[in-house]
């Protein structure tokens, strides 16, 4: 029998009322429906200092960065909803990825990312829904060994898109997020 795939879901925003947190929770539910075991985390719970090689050399990996990296290591799939800040990904997300990319002694490079399967999505108040940030996120993840699914979803006008229960008012967008997340679970099930 195929092993149940484990998928880590998080947003690149620490904002309490983050639209991207809402979006990735929709994806998380979709992946769970498709048979995955999904862990949702909030980067707000794992504050990390700005990565600095000198500090790393002196103090080692920050405990929250290590927790994040270990979570990545324990999961085969990723669901990431990233806000777009000035046409790119947020500093919080890039910083977390940078920390997690650092190898422990004797560990192969990019152990937390290599061979992972990811789906990426975004939402923003703007008309493009954070699409330009996804271009950067896709490039970054691909370059550190993550297989990023070709499909992606950007949801514009975030401020008017969500119902009180966290689902999207636009049924087609809701379905496209769920389908995208389901395909991560399905691919991982096939690979297992
Ligand atoms: C933004 N925002 C934004 N939106 C966008 O569509 N394109 C952009 O380039 C930017 N740039 C940007 C820069 C900075 C510094 C901030 C603080 C914000 C708006 C952003 O999409 C909005 O604040 C979202 O609500 C952020 O996502 P969360 O926190 O709601 O998930």
> Beta-strand (E) ranges in the chain?
6-11, 37-40, 77-81, 117-123, 147-155
Cα 177 to averaged position of ligand 1 atoms, centre (Å):
20
> Beta-strand (E) ranges in 1-157?
6-11, 37-40, 77-81, 117-123, 147-155
Query: What is the pLDDT, as a whole number, of residue 1?
Result: 46
Cα 75 to averaged position of ligand 1 atoms, centre (Å):
28
Report the C-alpha gap between 171 and 161 in whole angstroms: 10
- Highest CATH level, class, for 6-191: alpha beta
Report the C-alpha gap between 84 and 142 in whole angstroms: 18
Residue of higher predicted confidence among 83 and 192: 83
Tokens of 102: 């650092």
Q: Find out whether 129 and 123 touch, Cβ atoms under 8 Å.
A: yes
Beta strand 147-155 with 117-123: parallel, antiparallel or unpaired?
A: parallel
Q: pLDDT, tens digit, for every residue of 120-171?
A: 999 999 999 999 999 999 999 999 999 999 999 999 999 999 999 999 999 9
Q: pLDDT, tens digit, for every residue of 58-105?
A: 999 999 999 999 999 999 999 999 999 999 999 999 999 999 999 999
For a pocket test of ligand 1, which of 13, 84, 130 has the largest count of ligand atoms closer than 8 A to its C-beta? 84
116, exposed or middle or buried, with CB in 10 Å at 0-12, 13-18, 19+? buried
Query: What is the pLDDT, as a whole number, of residue 171?
Result: 97
Ligand 1 atom 9 nearest Cα: 86
Cα 22 to averaged position of ligand 1 atoms, centre (Å):
15
Report the C-alpha gap between 182 and 32 in whole angstroms: 8
């Amino acid at each position: 029998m195929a092993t149940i795939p484990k998928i880590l879901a998080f947003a690149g925003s620490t904002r309490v009322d983050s639209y991207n947190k809402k979006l990735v929770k929709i994806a998380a539910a979709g992946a769970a429906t498709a048979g995955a075991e999904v862990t949702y985390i909030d980067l707000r719970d794992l504050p990390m200092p700005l990565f600095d090689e000198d500090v790393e050399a002196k103090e080692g990996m920050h405990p929250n960065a290590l927790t994040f990296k270990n979570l990545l290591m324990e999961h085969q799939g990723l669901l990431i909803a990233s806000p777009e800040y000035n046409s790119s990904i947020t500093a919080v997300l890039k910083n977390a990825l940078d920390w997690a990319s650092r190898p422990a002694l004797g560990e192969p490079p990019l152990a937390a990312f290599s061979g992972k399967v990811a789906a990426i999505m975004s939402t923003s108040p703007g008309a493009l829904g954070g699409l330009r940030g996804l271009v950067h996120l896709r490039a970054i993840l691909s370059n550190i060994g993550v297989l990023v699914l070709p499909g992606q979803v950007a949801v514009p006008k975030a401020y008017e898109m969500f119902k009180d229960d966290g689902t999207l008012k636009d049924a087609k967008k809701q379905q496209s997020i769920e389908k995208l997340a389901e395909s991560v679970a399905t691919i991982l099930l096939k690979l297992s």
